[in-house]
Amino acid sequence: MANSPLSIAMISDFFHPNVGGVENHIYMLSVNLLRRGHKVIVITHSYPPDRVGVRWLLPGLKVYYIPFTTLVSSATLPDFLTFLPYFRNIILRERITLIHAHASLSALGHEGILHAHLLGVRTVFTDHSLFGFADAASILTNKLLEATMRTVGATICVSHTGRENTVLRANLAPEDVYVIPNSLIADQFLPAATPLTSDTVTIVVVSRLAYRKGVDLLVAAAPRICAACPNVRFVVGGDGPKLIDLLQMREKYFLQDRIELLGPVLHRDVPKVLTRGAIFLNTSLTEAFGTAILEAACAGLYIVSTRVGGVPEILPEDMISFALPTEDDIFRAIVEAIDIVQHGKHDPHRAHERIRGFYDWKQVAVRTEKVYRAVMDSPPQNLWTRIERTMGLGPFVGPIFTIILAVDCLFFMCLEYWYPREDIDYVDKQWGKHRFEEVLET
Amino acid sequence: MNVALVKTLTATSSSTTTDASTRLVVMSEDHWERVLWKQQSFPDNYVPPSFLSSLTKNPNFRPYTYWPLMLGACAITQHLSTIFIFLSVFVRLLDCTFDPRLLVFISAAMFVAGYALWELLECTQGGWLASSDRRAKAVKASILVFLALMALAPVLRTLTAATSSDSIWALSACLLILNAALADYSSAARGVGARERLTSVLSINAAISAAVVLASRLQDDLSVFALVLFAVQLFALFPLLRYRLQDAPSSIQLGSTLTLAAFSVVIAAPLSATVASLFATALGSTTFLAPAVLLWAQQYKNEIRGPWDAATPRVHS
């Protein structure tokens, strides 16, 4: 029983064809779990114009695109009940035993965790982001998260900082929260084959150009760096509301020939941009993990980053220089980094080999599987425990979520009556491990 | 953040630390590091002794003291007093127990006195010169407002003739509450450029609308004109003066607050003893009780900070 394959459903609002950290994480984790012989499907909402229904992604990952419209930034409306008919049907016909919800702003994920117990399915949740405690949006989403986390089997965070944050936000027992980092495909981020010329140092920035990515710091520090080091050039990739600030800065200081703005960069083009430089600058004001930093380090760049969130955990101290989120300190750190790079103290190929040893999606899948096994072996909560735990949320929120729970149960009973389980079209032809190998390895 | 949650959080974090220290003995003596790049011999849900050690609470805690808070509350008391005075004047005009011509003269006198005070403040703050042009503009604007209101008075009087008085009372109450809630209570020294804020504009609009709908209940054109003119004095011009006076010595602030509050209660008293006592209670609790409640509530302040918070970038502008 301990090694029997699991049937896992990944549920999130965020998935391919969108691109991003969460989307990539779900895909890579699913593929590596498939490789380990498990059955994995993904459930997400539809993407206009025509991505709706069942699709297959290479190599044999089945994706259910539920016909839900999105509310804002590709998240669906959190209405707690409308997902249940789809959910019940999919979970039953695919004979799913465990669901894995992703991202704390994904309404589908929360709903999946709420409905799972009706079908005797166990739950795991991965939190990918950091939230504060003070603003109104954070207070509301934190309460929603706390309500869902009352009944979840286990929680996974992508960094130790993220874990502390999630434990505080959702009021969880720290023992039930696991830390499993993101990873990357090292082969996609190879260092430049020919060494870069040593007389000019190129600083690369690839980021969404938004306030939270600290673009203000870049705008303030870049002219000073250009003035102090005449052999420095900047390459900035990305798009966003702060692009205009960068353009203005470039014009104000006549740096058109020193600062190159690439605009939006496709993810598959990022390696090409990275290998043009020797230093990668990240000025984020908050970052749960920092996949972009990891990708740049893998491509052999020396990293300069603000010391925020989970960034200090992802690389050893000799591959990264930290700065405070101030203009002066960014300037100091860049000048130091230029010195390190110019004196050849940073070997790109050695850095690449080290990263290859640090991070591997196969390891992530193994560690996640351990969490799945722990959840499957733990005794499930019965309905009364659920109600008691939900009531414990607070004098105001507790009853609200208990009512939602009760209505959910009633709705489920109606569905059992309207659509009996016998009428469901079960999926009995599985994509086994042998079939997977046939497709992937030949 | 609510109190219960914060208490549980505190309990969780302290119990975590003790749990972790006992667990550490059970685990191997290998050294745990807070890094993700190293494969460690600890399980993924291992709770290190340093768990939540970077959590700080109330990092910028600044305990309030009673007197500065009370002085700050004086601006609110003054504003409430002006609303109460306005209401009393309106009731007297409605009952025809107050000559509207007298109100026009009072408004004019208030304007002249207020303007003189404004000039005096301007003079003491060194802006006396190069302002004759501005003064001419002010005179022109005040004459324009005066004439415009006079011309509009007949229209305003019949504006809501088709609406029942009950609706007008409810509407004006809502508008005046909105006015008090959105008014700008900051001072010139602390709130730079605060006068241009949207809420402050909304606040003045709400008050003038309340004056207009109330004025439409009055009998004759002159009363309508007098009331709206008085409202402009109280709700548009007085806040400007109050904004400047906030920086005056505390004796002046306390004196003006006390005068206004006493006056509002005294002119309400002959109309209704109940209303006057309600006014007095409202003003008293705003001035004395509300700061004390804030002081008391500060013990529940629990702001959680940690490495997950978004950093604030510091640049030389």
Q: Which of A214, A216, A218, A215 is nearest to A226 (CA)?
A: A218
Q: A74 and A30 in one domain?
A: yes
Residues 95-124 of A with CB under 8 A from B: none
- For residues A78 and A144, the answer to whether their CB atoms sit within 8 Å is yes
Q: A375 and A240 in one domain?
A: no
Q: A363 contacts in B (CB within 8 Å)?
A: 39
Buried b / exposed e over A392-401, threshold 16 CB at 10 Å, is ebbeebbeeb
Q: How far apart are CA A171 and CA A194, in angstroms?
A: 51
pLDDT above 50 for A102: yes
Q: Identify the domain boundary among A301, A332, A358.
A: A358
Supply the range of the domain harboring residue A417. Answer: 7-183+361-441
Residue A391 covered by a domain: yes
Q: A33 and A177 in one domain?
A: yes
Q: A395 and A332 in one domain?
A: no
Q: How far apart are CA B218 and CA B220, in angstroms?
A: 6
Q: How far apart are CA B22 and CA A49, in angstroms?
A: 56
Span A311-369, pLDDT tens digits = 999 999 999 999 999 999 999 999 999 999 988 888 899 999 999 999 999 999 999 99
Residues 208-247 of A with CB under 8 A from B: 212, 214, 216-217, 219-220
How close A66 comes to chain B (CA, Å)?
33
Q: A375 and A349 in one domain?
A: no
Q: B34 contacts in A (CB within 8 Å)?
A: 160, 312-313
Q: Check CB contact under 8 Å for A178 and B9.
A: no
Q: For residue A100, which phi and psi values (nearest 5 degrees)?
A: -125, 105
Measured between alpha carbons, how far apart are the two ends of chain A, in Å? 30
Residues 253-292 of A with CB under 8 A from B: 283, 285-286
* Numbers of helices and strands, H then E, in chain B: 11, 2
Q: How far apart are CA A153 and CA A125, in angstroms?
A: 8
Instruction: Kindly identify which residue of chain A lies nearest to residue B51, measuring between CA atoms.
Output: A164
Q: Check CB contact under 8 Å for A316 and B35.
A: yes
Q: A251 and A173 in one domain?
A: no
Q: For this complex, say whether ipTM is above 0.85.
A: no
Choose, out of A135, A139, A168, A207, the residue to mutate when testing the contact with B (most B CBs < 10 Å).
A168
Q: What is the pLDDT of residue A196?
A: 67
Instruction: Kindly identify which residue of chain B lies nearest to residue A290, measuring between CA atoms.
Output: B36
* Other residues' Cβ atoms within 10 Å of the Cβ of residue A57: 14
Q: What CATH number corresponds to the domain at position A334? A: 3.40.50.2000
Q: What is the pLDDT of residue A432?
A: 59
* Other residues' Cβ atoms within 10 Å of the Cβ of residue A176: 18
Greater pLDDT, A198 or B21: A198
Q: How far apart are CA A108 and CA B224, in angstroms?
A: 59
Q: A231 and A125 in one domain?
A: no
CA B80 to chain centre: 10
Q: A171 contacts in B (CB within 8 Å)?
A: 5, 8-9, 12
Residue A144 covered by a domain: yes
Q: A74 and A11 in one domain?
A: yes
Q: What is the pLDDT of residue B180?
A: 93
Residue A200 covered by a domain: yes
Q: Check CB contact under 8 Å for A363 and B4.
A: no
For the segment A299-304, the average pLDDT, to the nearest whole number, is 94
The SS3 call for residue B3 is: helix
Confidence of residue A430 (pLDDT cuts 50, 70, 90): low
Q: Identify the domain boundary among A358, A390, A406.
A: A358
Q: Check CB contact under 8 Å for A164 and B312.
A: no
Residue A26 covered by a domain: yes
Q: A251 and A232 in one domain?
A: yes
Residue A294 covered by a domain: yes
Q: A179 contacts in B (CB within 8 Å)?
A: 36, 44-45
Span A245-277, pLDDT tens digits = 999 999 999 999 999 999 999 888 999 999 999
What is the enclosing helix (H) or strand (E) of A117?
Answer: none
Q: For residue B62, which phi and psi values (nearest 5 degrees)?
A: -130, 105
Q: How far apart are CA A130 and CA B80, in angstroms?
A: 43
* Other residues' Cβ atoms within 10 Å of the Cβ of residue B284: 14
Q: How many domains does chain A have?
A: 2
What is the enclosing helix (H) or strand (E) of B304?
Answer: strand B304-305
| Mean pLDDT, rounded, of chain B | 84
Q: How far apart are CA A270 and CA A259, in angstroms?
A: 17
Q: A309 and A162 in one domain?
A: no
Residue A1 covered by a domain: no
Residues with Cβ < 8 Å from B117, sequence gap 6 or more? B241
Residue A2 covered by a domain: no
Greater pLDDT, A183 or B184: A183
Span A148-187, pLDDT tens digits = 999 999 999 999 999 999 999 999 999 999 999 999 999 9
Q: A343 and A396 in one domain?
A: no
Q: Identify the domain boundary among A358, A381, A412.
A: A358
* Other residues' Cβ atoms within 10 Å of the Cβ of residue B22: 9
pLDDT above 50 for B23: no
List, edge to edge, every strand of the sheet that includes A279-282: A259-263, A232-237, A201-206, A279-282, A302-306, A320-323
Q: With an 8 Å Cβ cutoff, is A390 touching chain B? A: no
Burial of residue A307, with CB atoms counted within 10 A of its CB: 0-12 exposed, 13-18 middle, 19 or more buried: middle
Q: B38 contacts in A (CB within 8 Å)?
A: 358
Residue A237 covered by a domain: yes
Residue with tokens 């309905």: A383
Q: A347 and A370 in one domain?
A: no
- For residues A171 and A146, the answer to whether their CB atoms sit within 8 Å is yes
Instruction: Kindly identify which residue of chain B lies nearest to residue A393, measuring between CA atoms.
Output: B5
